[in-house]
Structure 1
Amino acid sequence: MAKYINPYTDFGFKKLFGEEANKDLLIDFLNQLLPAHHQIADLNFRNVENLADLSAERKAIFDIHCKALSGERFIVEMQKAKVKYFKDRSLFYVTFPIRDQAQTGEWNFRLEPIYFVAVLDFEYDEAEEKRKFRRDVALKDQDGDLFFDKLHFKFLQMPLFNKKENELETKFDKWCYFLKNLESFDHIPNILNEPIFQKAFETAELAGLSAEQRAIYEENLIQYWGMKSAIETAMETAVEENKVEIAKRMILAGSDDNFINQMTDLSVDYIKKLRAELKK
């Protein structure tokens, strides 16, 4: 049995980053992602349960209202989710804090800045983007110059974070290393043995959960495992189907069975079966 919670479960993520008592953890993590002029001095959570629109969907999102060190107010939308049409949903979600800033009566349309931060335990599917662990997105013009500085997206594809302990260089690296490996730790690594991470590890200890919390977490964990298994099965199926299509094309192009076997890992017997089917 693991010593620490899985931070990708709903319970684990909210335990670390969604509780008032632990907002110093969230502030420290977000400050590694945000620019110098939007370093957070304080923040508060909006109760998404009270939002009428798509309340079930919105439970996957934290509306975090922040006050910068400079005094400026801004909003962070923080998501941990594995969903279809991920980019579409991300864009749709930021319409909520934009619209919610509308004021009754005369209003000059001045908006507070919005950051959408997504910590993902999956890779979204465009091949070129699979190579990017961190992707910072803003509205830019045709020359790549920033057009609007009040809407930013920050995506972290955690499966692509592969730094080892001796390769960690920044506080941001340390947070990513913590999240990526938390469930597998049995003690605090030396490089994370500092106050903010000591609190994070203490918060994440399974031994500190009540019986009710433990039951909720274990139910979340089973759901998470089921989801991961379903996705892995779908991916394996897609890979196998792709191999078959490649083999068929190679057969039609005149390749011999042994060469097709080397290129696809399909058995020679199976390739012969495909060849016979294609002759019919």
Structure 2
Amino acid sequence: MQLQNQDFFFDRAVTYTSRTISRLAKKGAEGNGYELPPVYFVAVLGFQLDKANDAKHYYSAKIADQFDQEILYEKLSYKMLILLNFNKSKTELSTIMDQWMYLMKHLNEIDELPSYLDKRIFSRIFISESVV
């Protein structure tokens, strides 16, 4: 989670994923196969990535060919949620992603599970303090 504006945020994201991939690579003869597990970079941001596109609240990126958009490497994904740009009201939440975005943006205002959130998914977030 990154709340303050971060210059060169994408450089930082690439650095973090590169370090992770480097640590996952097996060394020596064991690494000859060099198959890596999938790596996901998930960022929840409290600032705009692109000031010209202030309506976009979700980015999903992979390494792709710039001409035909063919995905070249399926195992590396970048997911970025821009809370500042998410402006749906609770009556407009039509997907689970909308519900997650709304909850993350408004969690400081919500004390118990609201009826507009899917109870199967979100009920564990609002467990009573006496149970814990």
- Does the alignment reach a TM-score above 0.5? yes
- Per-residue deviation, 1:129: 4.0
**Cα 1:94–1:131, aligned 2, differ >3 Å: closer, same or farther?**
same
1:121 corresponds in structure 2 to: 46
Structure 2 length-normalised TM = 0.82
1:85 corresponds in structure 2 to: 8
**SS of residue matched to 1:191:** coil
Which one of the candidate residues 85, 91, 108 is aligned to 1:160?
85
1:192 corresponds in structure 2 to: 117
Higher helix share: 1
Q: Is the Cα–Cα contact under 8 Å of residues 44 and 81 in structure 2 kept in the other structure? A: yes
Which one of the candidate residues 173, 182, 193 is aligned to 2:107?
182
Which one of the candidate residues 131, 135, 155 is aligned to 2:59?
135
Q: Is the Cα–Cα contact under 8 Å of residues 55 and 86 in structure 2 kept in the other structure? A: no
**Cα 1:155–1:105, aligned 2, differ >3 Å: closer, same or farther?**
same
Distance (Å, rounded) in 2 between the aligned partners of 1:148 and 1:196: 31
Q: Where do 4+ consecutive residues of structure 1 move more than 4 Å?
A: none
Distance (Å, rounded) in 2 between the aligned partners of 1:149 and 1:193: 30
Is residue 18 of structure 2 the alignment partner of residue 95 of structure 1?
Answer: yes
**Cα 1:128–1:197, aligned 2, differ >3 Å: closer, same or farther?**
same
Distance (Å, rounded) in 1 between the aligned partners of 2:118 and 2:51: 37
1:265 corresponds in structure 2 to: none
Distance (Å, rounded) in 2 between the aligned partners of 1:87 and 1:208: 41
Structure 1 length-normalised TM = 0.41
Q: Which structure 2 segments of 5+ residues have no match?
A: none
Distance (Å, rounded) in 2 between the aligned partners of 1:92 and 1:170: 32
Q: Deviations over 1:230-255 (max 9, x none)?
A: xxxxxxxxxxxxxxxxxxxxxxxxxx
**Cα 1:128–1:99, aligned 2, differ >3 Å: closer, same or farther?**
same
Q: Deviations over 1:93-122 (max 9, x none)?
A: 001221012222222222111111101111
CA RMSD of aligned residues (A): 2.3
Q: How many residues align?
A: 127
Distance (Å, rounded) in 2 between the aligned partners of 1:105 and 1:167: 54
**Cα 1:129–1:112, aligned 2, differ >3 Å: closer, same or farther?**
farther
**SS of residue matched to 2:34:** coil
Q: Is the Cα–Cα contact under 8 Å of residues 25 and 34 in structure 2 kept in the other structure? A: yes
Identity %: 32
Distance (Å, rounded) in 1 between the aligned partners of 2:78 and 2:93: 24
Q: 1:187-226 maps to which residues of 2 (within 5 A)?
A: 187-192=112-117, 194-202=119-127
Distance (Å, rounded) in 2 between the aligned partners of 1:193 and 1:95: 36
Q: Is the Cα–Cα contact under 8 Å of residues 39 and 75 in structure 2 kept in the other structure? A: yes
- Larger-gyration structure (1/2): 1
- Per-residue deviation, 1:174: 1.2
